[in-house]
């Protein structure tokens, strides 16, 4: 007994620093005996004290080391403290004929046990413990957590069990969700496993807005400051990141193919400029003398010819593949006053002639149309020789041939560059400035080029009528989103998708445009493969 008393005093002294460093469960006072016995100590029971072997494991029976334990004698204020070793064990020498409560790590009253009034009692108390410990790494304000299976919530953190599936309820693996803290602005990353599941331990007393690769502000969740442990469930059916990325790659491939064909076409045009008469007016202007009167004569001549052709065949513009004219002509009666914002970059030059001719198709069109032309490349282009940036949006003064040509000269050249992500929404916001209630905002879009600034759509309060060029391979989903979120409409060479049809879409439904179907979800669209 003297040796045992010595051991208790020795271990109490040896681990007095450790007990101060450990976070004790609430209510534990300084009247704590630090025993911390393990196998090598070979502690033996006595007539009045029992040896209690505590074995801590997870639910798969894996032993857990370095787990702090406190044993509290019921109806008393005495505590015994120890920490599990590599075997998941801690031994305690405790008075028999008593009831005890075990506190594990930060969890109070985790389990109870009793010691009968017998001598030489040796008893094993198994503890199945789901860890509350959190390992997390922060990189650039993004927090990556590494949690054990069977993770438990704590008093300061809520355990969020996350399940992500596609719109057909199939689990989505390797899907990322971002929970952004309202207080700290830090991002907690959840990555799903093969079953579409993930877990996060989020600090309580905060609101988290949830984002994914394809969707912003899916929802916001508030977890109240509450001392009791809490588990929350977050389930989401969504379009997968893989689908969005696959579609982006498809659009990039089609863009590269289209640009390659356009470059060849421009080379052929430049070689035939001297032979041109009555078409490619802007190219003539660019490569030859700026004979605006000659160009105007040719434009008017073509416009009059168009009028005659349309009288004979109402579908003339469609059959002759004049895309912009087809869309404008089909909606002429409902779009009286028009503010036309047109994307004029190197791939859109072929449509400049269509705009010029349409503008001169009749006097009413000239009087009721205004034009804003822009180049949306997002590169750091130097100022041109004329002193104007290639990137920008410009009003066409006087609405005439000279005004068109001079305005286009400010913002374009005959080379393609940049990453083809364009400041579309920015251009629409500027183009819609001071628009009257009687004016329709039309946007002539390069269907192959993505928009870089969809996040600015909340600043655009005018319905946008999106006129899509080159839509034979499908519609760019960015422009469907612009039309939907502004209460506008979408138009191709062959059909019109009115605003009421877009507004009536429900999550998961499909929109058919030409030969392609687009799935709608939370304000976004994805072309089905």
Beta strands (DSSP E) in 58-193 are 68-73, 79-83, 89-95, 98-104, 107-115, 122-128, 135-139, 142-146, 157-165, 176-181, 187-191
* 18 backbone dihedrals φ, ψ, rounded to 5°: -65, -40
Per-residue model confidence (pLDDT) at position 391:
57
Whole-number CA gyration radius for the chain: 36
Half-sphere exposure of 57 (CA within 13 A, CB side): 11
Helix ranges (DSSP H) in 272-387:
281-287, 292-312, 316-319, 323-330, 350-359, 363-368
DSSP assigned state of 97: S
Per-residue model confidence (pLDDT) at position 311:
92
Per-residue model confidence (pLDDT) at position 5:
41
Half-sphere exposure of 13 (CA within 13 A, CB side): 5
Relative orientation angle of helices 350-359 and 292-312, to the nearest 10 degrees: 80
Per-residue model confidence (pLDDT) at position 331:
94
CB-based burial, 86-112: b 16+ in 10 Å, e otherwise: eebbbbbbbebebebbbbbbbbbebbe
Per-residue model confidence (pLDDT) at position 284:
61
As to burial, measured by CB atoms within 10 angstroms (0-12 exposed, 13-18 middle, 19+ buried), residue 138 is exposed
Number of neighbours of residue 387 by Cβ within 10 angstroms: 7
Residue partners of 502: CB distance under 8 A and separation at least 6:
480, 483, 484, 488, 489, 490, 511
Q: Beginning with the edge strand found earlier in the chain, give each strand of the sheet holding 510-513 in spatial order.
A: 510-513, 516-521, 524-527
Domains (range + CATH), the chain: 2-128 (2.60.40.10), 135-238 (2.60.40.1120), 318-527 (3.40.50)
Per-residue model confidence (pLDDT) at position 269:
53
Per-residue model confidence (pLDDT) at position 13:
36
Beta strands (DSSP E) in 333-451 are 337-343, 369-375, 392-395, 439-445
* 153 backbone dihedrals φ, ψ, rounded to 5°: -70, 165
Per-residue model confidence (pLDDT) at position 291:
79
Q: Decide if 401 contacts 296 (C-beta within 8 A).
A: yes
Distance (Å, rounded) from C-alpha 70 to C-alpha 60?
23
Number of neighbours of residue 386 by Cβ within 10 angstroms: 10
CA 413 to chain centre: 34
Number of neighbours of residue 205 by Cβ within 10 angstroms: 12
Q: What is the largest CA-CA distance in the chain?
A: 119
With tokens 């209690």, the residue in question is 52
Strands 206-211 and 197-203: unpaired
Q: Can you give the pLDDT of all 529 residues of the chain as single tens digits?
A: 434 343 433 333 333 333 333 445 544 455 789 999 999 999 999 999 999 999 999 877 888 888 999 999 998 888 999 999 999 999 999 999 999 999 998 778 889 999 999 999 999 999 988 766 688 999 988 999 988 767 778 888 999 999 999 998 999 999 999 999 999 999 999 999 999 999 999 999 999 999 999 998 899 999 998 877 789 999 999 999 999 998 888 888 887 777 666 666 655 554 444 444 445 666 666 656 677 888 888 888 888 899 899 999 999 999 998 999 999 999 988 998 999 998 887 667 778 888 888 887 767 777 888 899 887 644 444 554 444 444 578 888 878 888 888 887 777 654 444 445 578 898 899 889 999 999 999 999 888 888 888 989 999 999 999 999 888 889 999 999 999 999 999 999 999 999 999 999 999 999 999 999 999 999 999 998 7
Q: Decide if 139 contacts 204 (C-beta within 8 A).
A: no
């Amino acid at each position: 007994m003297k040796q045992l008393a010595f051991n208790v005093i020795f271990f109490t002294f040896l681990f007095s620093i450790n007990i101060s460093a450990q976070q004790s469960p609430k209510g534990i006072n300084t009247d704590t005996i630090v025993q911390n016995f393990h196998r090598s100590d070979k502690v033996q029971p006595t007539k009045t004290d029992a040896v209690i072997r505590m074995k801590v494991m997870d639910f798969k029976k894996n032993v857990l080391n370095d787990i702090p334990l406190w044993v509290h004698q019921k109806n008393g204020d005495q505590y015994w403290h120890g920490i599990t070793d590599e075997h998941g064990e801690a031994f305690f020498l405790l008075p028999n004929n008593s009831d005890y409560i075990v506190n594990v790590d930060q969890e109070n009253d985790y389990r109870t046990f009793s010691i009968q009034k017998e001598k030489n009692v040796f008893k094993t108390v198994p503890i199945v413990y789901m860890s509350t410990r959190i390992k997390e790494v922060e990189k650039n304000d993004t927090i990556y957590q590494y949690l054990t299976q069977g993770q438990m919530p704590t008093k300061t953190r809520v355990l969020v069990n996350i399940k992500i599936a596609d719109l057909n309820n199939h689990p989505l693996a390797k899907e990322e969700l971002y929970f952004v803290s309202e207080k700290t602005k830090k991002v907690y990353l959840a990555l799903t496993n093969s079953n579409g599941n993930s877990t996060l331990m989020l600090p309580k007393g905060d609101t988290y807005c949830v984002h994914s690769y394809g969707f912003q502000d899916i929802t916001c969740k508030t977890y109240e400051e509450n001392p009791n442990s809490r588990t929350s469930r977050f389930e989401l059916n969504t379009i997968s990141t893989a689908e969005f990325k696959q579609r982006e790659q498809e659009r990039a491939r089609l863009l590269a193919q289209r640009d390659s064909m356009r470059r060849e076409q421009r080379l052929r045009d430049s070689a035939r400029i001297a032979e041109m008469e009555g078409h490619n007016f802007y190219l003539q202007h660019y490569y030859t003398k700026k004979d605006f009167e000659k160009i105007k004569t040719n434009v008017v001549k073509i416009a009059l010819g168009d009028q005659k052709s349309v009288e004979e065949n109402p579908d003339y513009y469609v059959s002759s593949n004049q895309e912009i004219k087809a869309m404008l002509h089909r909606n002429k009666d409902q779009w009286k006053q028009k503010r036309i914002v047109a994307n004029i970059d190197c791939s859109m030059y072929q449509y400049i002639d269509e705009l010029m001719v349409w503008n001169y198709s009749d006097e009413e069109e000239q009087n009721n149309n205004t034009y804003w032309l822009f180049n949306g490349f997002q590169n750091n282009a130097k100022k041109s020789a004329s002193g104007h940036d290639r990137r920008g949006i410009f009003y066409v003064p006087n609405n005439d041939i000279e005004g068109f040509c001079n305005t286009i000269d400010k913002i374009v050249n005959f080379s393609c560059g940049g990453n083809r992500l364009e400041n579309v929404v920015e251009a629409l916001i500027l183009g819609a400035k001071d628009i009257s209630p009687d004016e329709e905002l039309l946007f002539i879009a390069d269907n192959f080029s993505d928009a870089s600034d969809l996040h600015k759509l909340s600043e655009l309060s005018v319905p946008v009528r999106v006129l899509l060029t080159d839509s034979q391979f499908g519609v760019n989903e960015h422009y469907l989103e612009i039309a939907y979120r502004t209460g506008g409409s979408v138009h191709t060479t062959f059909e019109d998708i009115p605003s009421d049809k877009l507004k009536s879409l429900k999550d998961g439904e499909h929109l058919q445009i030409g030969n392609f179907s687009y799935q709608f979800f939370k304000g976004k669209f994805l072309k089905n493969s």
